[in-house]
Chains A and B, each alone.
Chain A
Amino acid sequence: MKAKVGKLLEEAQKEIASAGSLKELDEVKVRFLGKKGRLTALLKSLGELSPDDRPAAGQAVNNARKSMAMSLEERAGSISAEERARDSEEQKADITMPGVSRRRGYRHPISLVMEETLDIFQGLGFSIRQGPEIEKDYYNFEALNIPKNHPARDMQDTFYIDTDTVLRTHTSPVQVRTMESESPPMRIVSPGKVYRVDFDVTHSPMFHQVEGFMVDEGVSFSDLKGVLTQFMLQFFGESTPVRFRPSFFPFTEPSAEVDIGCVICGGAGCRVCSGTGWIEILGAGMIHPEVFRSVDYDSEKYSGFAFGLGIERLTMLRYEIDDIRLFFENDTRFLSQFG
């Protein structure tokens, strides 16, 4: 019996070793260890032996089974490894060929900068309001202390629809509209398109502005400086120099122009900053009492500041774009450079 087992084991080892695939190996397993397998048959024939011989023979069969199982497992391992190696060799890719994906689209740079601007102001507690682009002369000018026939109207060349209706020249009308319908405290930014009769490398007849204003008791010019400095540092970087200098807008008093150190030359003086080292970014000021009067706010009780910034200008500075017309040609080779 023992010899029989030994011979069977030897035969099995040989077949295991020569099995070329997992399938063949499985067939070997079935032939020896399956229900009708040869080793299984030997095990069944143990009953024919004398009771004295049985334990030893049983032991031998069991050992042979273990040994076969171990060989099968080992062989399976090495067959898998061989197959993996063969597959890898066959499927080797030229990984420098281009990847395959759907081409994505791009956001317009004006939108990117507009969204970033609004996000910064929302973080500073400002809410968003919108107003019409076709606007009454009253909201665009009169209520903002710019009467008809005032030279300040020259600052904004206006598109007219009729004598009383204009394309808004700034987003400031939203200031008046909001103050008419809500009461302080308020912190508002108002984004949108504005229009002026002006068309060259640095002026577009349509552009985007964000108007912002805050009204409450005790709002001061130093608060205006704080909020706008925060914006500049967040938008242009923490080491950006910021300066405030006197200016004039009919709807603010005192009025200020806000400059940053030239982002192109770092303040040394270049073509972009006309050699001054500074770049004008936005206009601002304390809301004029005449504006408060037009919305029935008590300027003794409330004070506030307002500012207006041009999104095209911010975008041009950020990406060093020198021709504003590029924004409205919508050349996809231009648009795909942002975002």
Chain B
Amino acid sequence: MKISLQWLQEFVDLEEKPQQLAEDLTMMGLEVEGMAEVDGDNIFEIGVTPNRPDWLSHLGVARELAALYGRKVRIPETGVTEGDLPVEAMSSVEIEAPDACPRYSARVISGVKLGKSPENVRRRLEALGVRSINNVVDATNYVMLELGQPLHAFDYSRLRENRIVVRKAVEGEIMSTLDGQKRDLDDGDLLICDGLGPVAIAGIMGGENSEVEDDTVDLLLESACFDPVTIRKTSKRLGLSTDASFRFERGTDPSATTIALNRLARLINEWAGGSVCSGILDLHPRVEGERKVRFRPVRVNSLLGTEIPVDSMESILAGLDLEPRKGKGGWWTVSVPGYRRDIAREEDVVEEIARIYGYQKVPITMPIGRTVPVRSPEQRKLVHRVKSLLEADGFFETISFSYVSRSELDDLGLTGGPEPVKLINPISEEMSVMRTSLLPGLLNSARFNVSRRVEEIRLYEVGRVFLPCNTCNIAEERMRVSAVMAGNRCPKTWYGEGKRADFFDVKGAVENLLRGMGIEDISFSELDMPYLQTGQGAWVMVGDQPVGPVGTLDRDTRERYGIKGWAGCFELDIHRFQDEALKISPYRPIPKFPEVLRDLALIVPPMVKAGEIKMTVMDAGENLRAVHVFDEYRGKGVPAGHRSLAFSLHFQSPERTLTDGEVDRNMVGILKVLKKKFGVKLR
């Protein structure tokens, strides 16, 4: 909202410099967001909070400054010179929907001459961003900016039967508004009608059929109060917000309709001539009683942590026209003027006192209170560790939007089960369903980096996915950690050649991560996934629980995201391993007896897996602490389709030194089992 300093000065004496006024307004809750000098005037751009519709006018802002500085407010002239013709002879008002229209006040002026407004009025309106139209429309805007009451002028002669009916719309009713739009109405909308049909959508916009035009001579002026919720619903539904609806939906002062109406009649009379009919058509079906709010000065100080004397509170409240009166038992009462829609309870009075007293003067204390144990979700510690491990492994943390494109999920083959959660009003189709995987976000980040010639891609994200389900509330939110990698295993340096990464790099990253979390029982089982290359996908298993897929991205997916060469990914469900992770276990004593090392090089037939051999060796071995694969070879000396695998076997007893003899016997036994089970040969 734009406020003119010169206009404010018509209502209250202000000698303060504009800069000072801006500072003071801001510190009392009326934030000055910008200032400009226009034609020797100062225009403040103020941010009005929704609770203070009274600030949407110059008088309202002037009242605040008067309260702050302890000055008097001058109310603008509202005296009207009336003609002899009584308004009742010209028109009538009927309110059929009193719940939505607590008050409707109207006057009639005949014989006006439309034309330009006075120069100073036009300049003032333009400076505040309001286009000058003619002396009648300008007057309605001028008084609204002055007093905050939205007003409307109808062409009297175009009102059929010359009367006003305020009623709810009938489903299917249609009317054309001033902006030339046809509006479909429903039974929640409040209408201003003439004797035959709608002439305005109440509190939002007038109709084309009753618009004031150059040849208009007689006017019916409306100054009404409408129910805020009714206005807001219609405004939202039609997507039509106007200066009037903005004010009505925040609440206007029902006691002020006639004051604004008189001010309007006076100005039109002054600027456009004519004769004002005597009297006002003023229907007031729902009169608001006097609003009183009780408060306790003791409570004010205890909530604020201050020691403001009672007489200071009294003078602050009196300055705000709240008329404080002392009651019994430490209670006081204030009377709330009609324009203060926001004051309804003790805490609101506390805020008024604090605002004028000054938030800056409230002391700064640390809460004493009882001791509360500081607790954090276990998962936070876990996530922290996950991030540290991945970063040490060269991964960059990314954050992507939680909504993705439906077609991207389809392309990755991630749909097919229950429908992902959809937004009713997404920003775009690309951001329309809640992600069921972190991969689309990571892949888009990978594409972004590839297109900017970043060659080493190691990206991860920790975040929630939203899994649709029938048993839970809309979706189950699960924390996942996912990563995408592409490019080289290690970069080409002066020290050595860059090596292309492959499946075992992404698998290694998973192993590193899980081992770093203290998880030892890790295995991998084969997995087919639409977005993984056949034969290079696996379930990551912790114990017998699958925690998520790992593998090489298939060619289509890589091409869709502009990745050349190999790329891999994993996606692990943190809930599935969090109990295993970070478990504190007692330490294992360091072995006292030496280790005996043996190598085993085998010719392995097709289809036999290293993992199976390892498991069999572990089962067959005695005092066998660990088995590692240390070489794989295909080619000369090895039959086609076969491969040579070399294992190192680490024998160690916690109780004694093993002899070469018993280890050798053990090796013979192991080999025998392997030959029988897998048909392997010693190389």
What residues of chain A lie closer than 8 Å to B393, measured between beta carbons? 105
Q: Contacts A161-B421, A161-B422, A214-B367 given; indicate if A253 touches B31 (C-beta within 8 A).
A: no
Interface residues of A (CB under 8 A from B): 97-98, 100, 102-108, 110-111, 115, 118, 122, 125-130, 132-134, 136, 149-152, 154-155, 159-162, 165, 167, 185-187, 193, 195, 197, 199, 205-206, 214, 216-223, 225-227, 229-230, 243-248, 250, 253-257, 274, 276, 286, 288-289, 303, 327-333, 335-336
Docked-complex contact B399 and A122, CB < 8 angstroms: no
A188 to chain B, nearest CB (A): 9
Which of the residues B400, B427, B454 comes within 8 Å of A332, measured between beta carbons?
B454
Which residue of chain A lies nearest to B428 when distances are taken between CB atoms in the complex? A199
Docked-complex contact B364 and A225, CB < 8 angstroms: yes
- In the complex, 26 of the A-B residue pairs with CB atoms within 8 angstroms, ordered by the A residue number, are A103-B491, A105-B395, A126-B374, A133-B464, A149-B236, A155-B50, A159-B423, A161-B474, A218-B302, A220-B304, A220-B305, A222-B305, A222-B306, A223-B366, A247-B31, A248-B52, A253-B345, A254-B354, A256-B359, A303-B302, A327-B399, A328-B400, A330-B398, A330-B448, A332-B396, A333-B454
* Complex: A335 Cα to B461 Cα, angstroms: 13
Docked-complex contact B50 and A216, CB < 8 angstroms: no
Docked-complex contact B362 and A225, CB < 8 angstroms: yes
Docked-complex contact A289 and B347, CB < 8 angstroms: yes
Q: How many B residues face the partner with a CB closer than 8 A?
A: 95
Q: Contacts A218-B302, A246-B28, A248-B50 given; indicate if A107 touches B400 (C-beta within 8 A).
A: no
What residues of chain B lie closer than 8 Å to A129, measured between beta carbons? 377
Tell me, yes or no, whether B233 is within 8 Å of chain A by CB: yes
Docked-complex contact B52 and A222, CB < 8 angstroms: no
Interface residues of B (CB under 8 A from A): 26-29, 31, 33-34, 49-52, 228-229, 232-233, 236, 249-250, 302-306, 345, 347-348, 350-351, 354-355, 359-360, 362-367, 369-377, 380, 384, 387, 390-403, 421-427, 431, 434, 445, 448-449, 452, 454, 456-460, 463-464, 466, 473-475, 477, 490-491, 493-495
Which residue of chain A lies nearest to B351 when distances are taken between CB atoms in the complex? A254
Which residue of chain B lies nearest to A229 when distances are taken between CB atoms in the complex? B364
Which of the residues B31, B49, B354, B424 comes within 8 Å of A161, measured between beta carbons?
B424
Docked-complex contact B396 and A335, CB < 8 angstroms: yes
Docked-complex contact B402 and A195, CB < 8 angstroms: yes
B36 to chain A, nearest CB (A): 11
What residues of chain B lie closer than 8 Å to A152, measured between beta carbons? 50-51
What residues of chain B lie closer than 8 Å to A253, measured between beta carbons? 345, 347-348, 350-351
What residues of chain A lie closer than 8 Å to B402, measured between beta carbons? 133, 167, 193, 195, 206
Docked-complex contact A197 and B302, CB < 8 angstroms: no
Docked-complex contact A128 and B377, CB < 8 angstroms: yes
Q: Contacts A122-B374, A220-B305 given; indicate if A246 touches B29 (C-beta within 8 A).
A: yes
Which residue of chain B lies nearest to A97 when distances are taken between CB atoms in the complex? B494
Docked-complex contact A108 and B33, CB < 8 angstroms: no
Which of the residues B52, B426, B459, B495 comes within 8 Å of A330, measured between beta carbons?
B459
Docked-complex contact B376 and A128, CB < 8 angstroms: yes
Which residue of chain A lies nearest to B389 when distances are taken between CB atoms in the complex? A105
* Complex: A122 Cα to B424 Cα, angstroms: 38
What residues of chain A lie closer than 8 Å to B474, measured between beta carbons? 134, 161, 165
Q: What are the nearest 9 A-B pairs in CB distance? A: A222-B305, A246-B29, A220-B305, A248-B49, A254-B351, A330-B445, A330-B398, A105-B391, A108-B397
What residues of chain B lie closer than 8 Å to A185, measured between beta carbons? 369-370, 372
Which residue of chain A lies nearest to B50 when distances are taken between CB atoms in the complex? A151
